């Protein structure tokens, strides 16, 4: 298994605070890798840098062997690296179907074609079915519940056939039934070849689903390995309980 | 939605065409010309300010550019049929669009704030240039165009029809935009631009396109106005009051809708024309428009049409819930509840 | 060469005044992420206030500053509370901009109705006297304006760096989330911050009235320049605004002295475009990629 994502010596400083401090880690293709750590460990910052939403002060990000440091999120998206947001960012003024169509991408020539054409419906149909969104596909996204938005965001991100999906706290604020649903979707997609990197706080979710687990503390990874081993590792315990 | 809109559009066009035929008074025709003028400009502004969510404060500048362009072209000309200026409108539109293109490229790359800054500065610069470039524009003395050789009895008619045509064109473009992926892209930009960019939407290209079309149309309206007036002064050709009027009209009727700007223009421009005799002073308009704008933003922020649409949708939803409540266990949006967000994730 | 140096001197002196106005504007942006398009109008409003105090009661414009500052501070707080606070979160940024624009026009209209549209100026007795240093002419008013602006900027920096309110402001500018967690009441910071921005306009207004003839429509010219300065300095950076003000004023003055006065009016626009082409975030601004 090769490294799909590689981060070398990444650094980000916010006015004196080293949010990310010379971090190096890698995500192997085909895995569901977790990125965990106590509050303030730099998970979100690292996430934002890797996905192009923040510029690093130093270090390199490599995706599929290519240097993508500082690349714009849109460019990364087209190259197969996509992400979701903690707050489930979807387009509220567009319908569920339209959200998928936008995420699916279209070229210059298609700009002047129908807003949602037959081809778009066909492309989105499978995902709508899979995520049980077909019945509400014409509802405005603003009318969805929080959980439905999370599902929609996840489904939308899959429209572009990504190779690596970064999930930003997929279980935050979501009921247990939906957590199970998300888990199932992640497993299914992983089985069909998508690699996942998940930032999470819910430990049981992480232990069930992810392998390996990377633990971050004070802007640097302090452990990378099996979830069970993480739970017993003294450094990890110290990071969570110590300070 | 398909048939009703086409039907509504057809009725509207028929109305526009036949209205003058009932034999209207000059002052009323004049009023209609101005209503159509503002309806067209508001609809054009709507493409950028309504759909994309980028409030341009400089459209009045392009109005003036159109006015001065046509004045320059016909300087010292002798008109034969009187329709020559109308025939050259597309050229004026192109000039407007060509000037707007680089402005959009420079100002729409970052955020809407910067865009507003550039457009308002642009407005001021255009006005200053109009005052300073005496050779081209006549400076504060103004510029004159040959008076249209139309018979006095039906003088307003050609202008009315040309304006109506421009309005229909603009509404047609708006409709096409809404129905195409251009419209989809614009709405996604307005909804969450960073996310839109993040999923690969070609945001800059779409925005620049919308802006260029929008200002091209505005320039054409300015040209027709200049011809109608026969004499233009820089402070009226490039007037911030025009900007706030079209912004206000679009907001009142409803941004991002097809009919909203037209509705807003009908209400406000007729009101303004009818009250002209009562109020008189321009400064009072400034206060009234600004005040109205603030009131609308605070009390009816979405505008008339979207608010009505929302109410209708709420009623439909309620009916749907009542119907499905009869069948327990069904999954509807209202039945699905989620626990409150736990700590919201915290800072990481 | 002489004209050039004269231009530079003039530019630096004028730059001080613009720095004061621009610092208030960029501060408001830093705190509330709102471009205050009414800043120019508030300066003109203060100029009229100073004018009225001068012509009616003979109060020297510089001495009127404490009074006008307090008045404008209150005005700014009121504007924020009444017009900006009620805006709904989703449309907040695009609407705030239009709201401040409407407030600017409201001010302009009210000033027109109250004082008419003829040009006014505050003709203090010392308005025409000037000093000559090493062959360069410097009007007394400009020197005092510069000194006052420096003083006011000094007070502003003191407020920002030495008081609790200032610290709260800086925290909010840097990181609103954390600031809130630390107990900073964002609401109050917004209102008081806007008031502070208006207060800088007040101080500058008296000076403006002494230096230039003005009428209600003068705010367009002013706001265009201020916006260019703020963009060059970097939206939200007070230090940047000060440096940018000097740069823009000096460039303008140099162009006026060497090329022609008419073209100097375009200078700020050229600078604005150049900044957006080369370095959109300005000298000290942040590149925002929308991570939130």
Segment B164-176, tens digit of pLDDT: 999 999 999 999 9
CA angle C220, C224, C228 (to 5 degrees): 170
- Interchain contact B333–A (C-beta under 8 A): yes
CB contact under 8 Å between C174 and A15, yes or no, is yes
CB contact under 8 Å between C101 and B114, yes or no, is no
Among A73, A52, A57, smallest CA distance to A17 is for A57
- What pLDDT is stored for residue B120 in this prediction? 92
- In chain A, residues with a C-beta closer than 8 Å to the C-beta of C173 are none
Within 13 A of A13's CA, how many CA atoms are on the CB side?
Answer: 7
pLDDT band, residue C271 (cuts 50/70/90):
very high
CA angle B74, B78, B83 (to 5 degrees): 70
CB contact under 8 Å between A55 and C287, yes or no, is yes
pLDDT at position C270 over 80: yes
- In chain A, residues with a C-beta closer than 8 Å to the C-beta of C175 are 14
Among A151, A217, A166, smallest CA distance to A18 is for A217
Considering the domain delimited by A3-90+161-242, tell me its CATH architecture: 3-Layer(aba) Sandwich (3.40)
Beta-carbon neighbour count of residue B131 at 10 Å? 18
Work out the percent of chain B whose per-residue pLDDT is above 70. 90
What are the extents of the domains in chain C? 2-278
- In chain A, residues with a C-beta closer than 8 Å to the C-beta of B206 are 111
pLDDT at position B36 over 50: yes
The three state secondary structure string of chain C is CHHHHHHHHHHHHHHHHHHHHHHHHHHHHHHHCCCCCCHHHHHHHHHHHHHHHHHHHCCCHHHHHHHHHHHHHHHHHHHHHHHHCCCCCCCHHHHHHHHHHHHHHHHHHHHHHHHCCCCECCCCHHHHCEEEECCEEEEHHHHHHHHHHHHHHHHHHHHHHHCHHHHHHHHHHHCHHHHHHCCCCHHHHHHHHHHHHHHHHHHHHHHHHHHCCECCCHHHHHHHHHHHHHHHHCCCCHHHHHHHHHHHHHHHHHHHHHCCHHHHHHHHHHHHHHHHHHCCCCCCCCCCCCCC
CB contact under 8 Å between C289 and A53, yes or no, is yes
Complex-level ipTM beyond the 0.95 threshold: no
CB contact under 8 Å between A55 and C289, yes or no, is yes
List pLDDT tens digits, range B50-60.
Answer: 999 899 999 99
Chains that touch C (3 or more CB pairs under 8 A): A, B
Spatial neighbors of C63 by CB under 8 A, at least 6 apart, are none
Residue of A15, A48, A72 lying closest to C291 (CB–CB)? A48
Cβ under 8 Å to C: B residues 253-282: 281
Residue B22, SS3?
helix
**Domain covering C2-278, topology:** ABC transporter involved in vitamin B12 uptake, BtuC (1.10.3470)
- What pLDDT is stored for residue B313 in this prediction? 81
- In chain B, residues with a C-beta closer than 8 Å to the C-beta of C37 are 57, 116, 120
Residue of C93, C109, C181 lying closest to B287 (CB–CB)? C109
pLDDT at position B126 over 60: yes
Q: How close A45 comes to chain C (CA, Å)?
A: 9
On whether the CB atoms of residues B329 and A139 are closer than 8 A, the answer is no
CB contact under 8 Å between B286 and C105, yes or no, is yes
On whether the CB atoms of residues B109 and C280 are closer than 8 A, the answer is yes
- Interchain contact B320–A (C-beta under 8 A): no
CB contact under 8 Å between C289 and A15, yes or no, is no
Burial of B76 (0-12, 13-18, 19+ CB in 10 A): exposed
CB contact under 8 Å between B188 and A148, yes or no, is no
On whether the CB atoms of residues A27 and A63 are closer than 8 A, the answer is no
pLDDT at position B348 over 50: no
List pLDDT tens digits, range A216-235.
Answer: 888 888 888 888 888 788 88
CB contact under 8 Å between B199 and A139, yes or no, is no
- What pLDDT is stored for residue B34 in this prediction? 94
Mutant choice from A12, A74, A104 vs B, greatest count of B C-beta within 10 A = A74
Phi and psi based region of residue A36 (left: phi greater than 0; alpha: psi -120 to 50; beta: remaining): beta
- Per-residue pLDDT averaged across B249-269, rounded? 94
Which residue on chain A is closest to B339 by alpha carbon?
Answer: A175
Which residue on chain C is closest to A46 by alpha carbon?
Answer: C291
pLDDT band, residue C289 (cuts 50/70/90):
low
Which residue on chain C is closest to A73 by alpha carbon?
Answer: C289
Among B253, B195, B187, B176, smallest CA distance to B51 is for B187
Among C223, C219, C228, C221, smallest CA distance to C106 is for C219
Residue of A52, A92, A115 lying closest to B184 (CB–CB)? A115
- What pLDDT is stored for residue B78 in this prediction? 82
Residue of B179, B188, B347 lying closest to A114 (CB–CB)? B179
pLDDT at position A239 over 90: no
CB contact under 8 Å between C273 and B289, yes or no, is no
CB contact under 8 Å between A45 and B184, yes or no, is no
Residue of C95, C281, C288 lying closest to B297 (CB–CB)? C95
- Per-residue pLDDT averaged across C266-276, rounded? 90
Question: Would the CA dihedral through C132, C134, C137, C142 be positive or negative?
Answer: negative
Q: How close B251 comes to chain A (CA, Å)?
A: 17
Which residue on chain A is closest to B316 by alpha carbon?
Answer: A139
List pLDDT tens digits, range A72-120.
Answer: 888 899 899 999 988 889 999 899 999 999 998 888 888 888 888 888 8
pLDDT at position B223 over 90: yes
The reported pTM is 0.88
Residue A39, SS3?
coil
- What pLDDT is stored for residue A20 in this prediction? 87
List pLDDT tens digits, range B284-322.
Answer: 778 888 999 999 988 888 889 999 988 888 888 788 777
- Interchain contact B197–A (C-beta under 8 A): yes
d(CA C211, CA C10): 12
pLDDT band, residue B97 (cuts 50/70/90):
very high
List pLDDT tens digits, range A149-189.
Answer: 999 999 999 998 899 999 999 888 888 888 888 899 999 99
- Per-residue pLDDT averaged across B326-338, rounded? 43
pLDDT at position A236 over 70: yes
Take residue A220 and report the two structure tokens written for it. Answer: 């640097």
Structure letter (DSSP) for residue B230: S
pLDDT at position C30 over 90: no
- In chain C, residues with a C-beta closer than 8 Å to the C-beta of B119 are none
- In chain A, residues with a C-beta closer than 8 Å to the C-beta of C174 are 15
Strand partners, A35: A199, A214
CB contact under 8 Å between C174 and A53, yes or no, is no
């Amino acid at each position: 298994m090769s490294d799909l994502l590689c981060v070398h010596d990444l650094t980000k400083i916010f006015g004196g605070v080293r949010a990310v401090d010379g971090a190096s880690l890698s995500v192997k293709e085909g895995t569901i890798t977790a990125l965990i750590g106590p509050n303030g460990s730099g998970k979100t910052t690292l996430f934002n840098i890797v996905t192009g939403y923040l510029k690093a002060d130093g270090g390199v990000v490599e995706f599929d062997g290519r240097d993508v440091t500082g690349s714009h999120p849109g460019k990364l998206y087209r190259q197969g690296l996509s992400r979701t947001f903690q707050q489930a960012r979807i387009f509220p003024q567009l319908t569920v179907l339209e959200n998928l169509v936008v995420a699916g991408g279209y070229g210059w020539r298609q700009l002047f074609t129908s807003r949602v054409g037959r081809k778009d419906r066909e492309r989105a149909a499978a995902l709508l079915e899979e995520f049980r969104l077909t019945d509400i596909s014409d509802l405005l996204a603003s009318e969805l519940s929080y959980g439905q938005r999370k599902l929609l965001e996840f489904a939308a991100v899959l429209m572009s056939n990504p190779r690596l999906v970064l999930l930003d706290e997929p279980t935050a604020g979501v009921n247990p039934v939906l957590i199970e649903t998300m888990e199932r979707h992640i497993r299914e997609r992983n089985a069909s070849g998508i690699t996942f990197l998940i930032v999470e706080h819910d430990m049981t979710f992480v232990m069930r689903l992810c392998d390996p687990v990377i633990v971050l503390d004070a802007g640097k990874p302090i452990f990378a390995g099996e979830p069970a081993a993480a739970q017993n590792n003294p450094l990890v315990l110290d990071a969570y309980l110590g300070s | 939605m398909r048939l009703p809109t086409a039907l509504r559009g057809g009725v509207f066009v028929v109305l526009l065409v036949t209205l003058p035929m009932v034999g209207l008074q000059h002052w009323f025709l004049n009023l209609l010309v101005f209503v159509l003028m503002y309806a067209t400009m508001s609809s054009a502004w709507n493409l950028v300010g309504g759909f994309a969510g980028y409030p341009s404060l400089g459209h009045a500048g392009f109005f003036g550019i159109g006015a001065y362009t046509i004045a320059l072209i016909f300087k010292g000309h002798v008109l034969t049929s009187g329709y020559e200026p109308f025939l050259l409108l597309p050229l004026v539109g192109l000039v407007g669009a060509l000037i707007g293109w680089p402005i959009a490229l420079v100002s729409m790359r970052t955020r809407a704030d910067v865009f507003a800054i550039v457009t308002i500065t642009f407005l001021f610069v255009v006005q200053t240039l109009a005052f300073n470039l005496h050779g081209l524009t006549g400076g504060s003395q103004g510029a004159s165009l040959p008076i249209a050789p139309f018979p006095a009895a039906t003088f307003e008619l050609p202008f009315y029809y040309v304006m109506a045509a421009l309005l229909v064109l603009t509404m047609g473009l708006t409709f096409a935009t809404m129905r195409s992926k251009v419209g989809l892209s614009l709405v996604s930009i307005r909804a969450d631009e960073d996310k839109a960019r993040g999923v690969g939407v070609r945001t800059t290209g779409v925005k620049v396109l919308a802006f260029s079309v929008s200002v091209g149309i505005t320039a054409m309206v300015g040209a027709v106005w200049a011809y109608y007036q026969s004499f233009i002064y820089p402070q009226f050709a490039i007037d911030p009051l025009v900007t706030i009027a079209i912004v206000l009209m679009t907001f009142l009727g409803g941004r991002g809708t097809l009919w909203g700007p037209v509705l807003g223009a009908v209400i406000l421009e007729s009101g303004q024309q009818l009250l002209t005799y009562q109020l008189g002073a321009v400064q009072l308009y400034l206060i009234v428009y600004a005040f109205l704008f603030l009131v609308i933003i605070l009390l009816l922020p979405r505008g008339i049409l979207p608010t009505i649409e929302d109410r209708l949708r709420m009623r439909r939803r309620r009916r749907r819930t009542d119907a499905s409540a009869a069948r327990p266990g069904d999954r509807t949006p209202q039945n699905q509840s989620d626990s409150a967000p736990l700590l919201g994730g915290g800072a990481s | 060469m002489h004209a050039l140096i004269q231009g530079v001197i003039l530019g630096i002196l004028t730059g001080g005044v613009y720095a004061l106005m621009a610092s208030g504007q960029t501060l408001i942006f830093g705190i509330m992420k709102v471009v205050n398009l009414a800043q120019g109008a508030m300066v003109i409003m203060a100029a009229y206030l100073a004018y009225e105090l001068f012509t009616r009661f003979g109060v020297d414009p510089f001495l009127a500053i404490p009074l006008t500052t307090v008045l404008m501070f209150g005005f700014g707080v009121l504007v924020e509370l009444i017009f900006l606070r009620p805006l709904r979160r989703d449309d907040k940024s695009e609407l705030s901009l239009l709201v401040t624009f409407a407030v600017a026009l409201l001010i302009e209209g009210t000033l027109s109705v109250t004082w008419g549209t003829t040009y006014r100026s505050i003709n203090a007795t010392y308005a025409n006297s000037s000093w000559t240093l090493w062959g360069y002419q410097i009007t007394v008013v400009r020197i005092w304006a510069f000194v006052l602006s420096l003083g006011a900027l000094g007070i502003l920096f003191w407020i920002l760096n030495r008081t609790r309110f200032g610290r709260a402001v800086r925290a909010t500018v840097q990181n609103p989330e954390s600031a809130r967690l630390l107990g900073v009441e964002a609401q109050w910071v917004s209102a008081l911050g806007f008031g502070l921005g208006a207060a800088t306009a007040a101080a500058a207004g008296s000076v403006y009235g002494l230096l230039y003839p003005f009428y209600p429509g003068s705010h367009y010219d002013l706001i265009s320049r201020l916006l260019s300065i703020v963009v060059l300095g970097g939206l939200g950076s007070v230090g940047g605004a000060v440096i940018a003000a000097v740069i823009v004023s000096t460039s303008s003055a140099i162009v006026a002295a060497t090329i022609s006065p008419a073209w100097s009016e375009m200078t700020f626009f050229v600078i604005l475009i150049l900044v957006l082409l080369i370095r959109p975030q300005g000298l000290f601004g942040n590149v925002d990629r929308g991570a939130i």
